[in-house]
Amino acid sequence: MSRPAVVKALWGAAVLVLVAGCSSGGTEDRPGTAPPTSASATATGSASSSAASSAAAPSGGRVAVTGTLTEGLKSPWGLAELPGGDLLVSSRDERTITRVDGRTGAKTSLGEVPGVVPGGEGGLMGLAVRDGWVYAYLTAESDNRIVRMRYGGADGDRLGVPQPVLTGIPKGIVHNGGRIAFGPDGMLYAGTGETGRTGLAQDRDSLGGKILRMTPEGKPAPGNPLAGSVVYSYGHRNVQGIAWDAEGRLWAAEFGQNTWDELNLVERGKNYGWPEVEGRAGEARFVDPVAQWPTSEASPSGIAYARGAIWMAGLRGERLWRVPLSGAERSGDPEAFLTQEYGRLRTVLAGGGGRLWLVTSETDTRGTPGPGDDRILRLEVS
C-alpha cells in the first residue's frame, strides 16, 4: 500500500509553499533548514523524582497495518472513540464531524459545527467525548475556543447547539494548538499554540503556548499551579499531542521552529522553555525534552500511549515514531515506522491493547492527495 514514488516527489516540492510571513520554521511543516542529525541523537530528558517507575518497554518495536477502516476524508484532524467503539472525526476545513463505524468504516455525517472560521492552521480541530457530550477545539471569529455539544439519546445522530466551555485562547494563521483530551483525573486538558507571537508562551496570563487543565465545564481545575487559572504548564510553542501513560503521567508533543521538535513529560507549573530555548538546554529553570527530533523528521501532531511506548504521528516527517519508556525516562532510542508509506500523519489514537487508529493528513492543503486520501488505518503494535 505504499504511495507512488512520483506522488512523494511532487509532495517534496509542494511543501516549500507555506504561509507567508513566517520564518522557515513558522508553520507546522517548516521545510527550511534543519540539521543533518538523525533521531539517534535525541536527548534524554530528566525524570520526575516523584514519578512512579514502571517496567521498561522493549527497545525494539513492531507495527503492522491490518487494514483501512475508512477513506475519502477531507482535512481530518480530531479523533475520538465513542462508547461501543465507533469513532468521531473532525474536518478542520469543512467544519464537520463524521461518525465512522468502528467495524465496517461506514460514515455518517453529523453536520457542520456552527461558528467555526477555518484559515491557515485553524478550524475544527481536536475532539473529546464524555458523558453524552462531544467537546471540540475550534477557531472562531475572534479566538480559539473549546465548546461542547450534546450527542446521542433521543436526538440520534445529531449534534446539539455548541455551548462555550472555554473562550479567549489566542488564534492565528499558524500555531493554534488544538488537541484536547480527558485525563485520568477526569479533567479536560488542551494543548495551545503561541500563534507566532512567541512572547505569549512565557506570559502566564495568556492562554497561548500552554497546556491547560480545566473541569468539564471549563473552570480552573482543583490543584492547578495558579489559583483561578486554567494554565497547567507554559513555555510551549505549539502543542498538538497529549496522552497519558499507564502510571498517569502526562506526555506532550510540540513543534519546534528550525531545529528540534520535542516530546515532553509534562508536570504541574513547569516551564518548557520556548522561546528562550528550543530542544534540550540543560538549564535548571527549563524542563528538557525526553526526546527531540530534527524538524525534517517529525513535525509531530497527535500522540498515543500503547505497549509501554509513546507513538507519535509525524506530518512533515511522514512517519510514525515509537518512543519506548521506562517510567518517566526513555528506555531506548526512538524508532520510525511507515516512513513515507501513507504521507503526512496527523492523529493517532489508542484503541486498547496493542491497537491504534492512525489518521493521514494529505488533504490539509500541504500534502499531495492520492486516491483514497485521507484515511483511517488500523494498526497493531508491540
54: pLDDT confidence band, cut at 50, 70 and 90?
A: low
CB-count exposure of residue 137 (10 Å: 0-12, 13-18, 19+) = buried
pLDDT at residue number 313: 98
Provide mean pLDDT across the span 180-184: 98
Pick from 300, 299, 313, 296: nearest CA to 356: 313
Q: Is the peptide bond before 185 cis (omega within 30 degrees of 0)?
A: no
Please determine, for residue 314, whether its predicted confidence score (pLDDT) is greater than 50.
yes
Distance separating alpha carbons of residues 237 and 78, to the nearest angstrom: 20
Q: Is the peptide bond before 275 cis (omega within 30 degrees of 0)?
A: yes
Where do the DSSP E strands lie in 217-259?
A: 231-234, 239-244, 250-254
Q: What is the pLDDT of residues 126-167, one digit of tens each?
A: 999 999 999 999 999 999 999 999 998 777 789 999 999 999
Q: What is the pLDDT of residues 248-283, one digit of tens each?
A: 999 999 999 999 999 999 999 999 999 999 999 999
Residue 341 region, left (φ>0) first, then alpha (ψ -120 to 50), else beta?
alpha
The C-alpha cell at 182 is: 480527558
pTM: 0.88
Task: Say what percent of the chain tops pLDDT 70.
Answer: 86
E strand or H helix at 114:
none
Q: Which residue has the cell 495568556?
A: 206
Question: In angstroms, how far apart are the furthest CA atoms of the chain?
Answer: 57
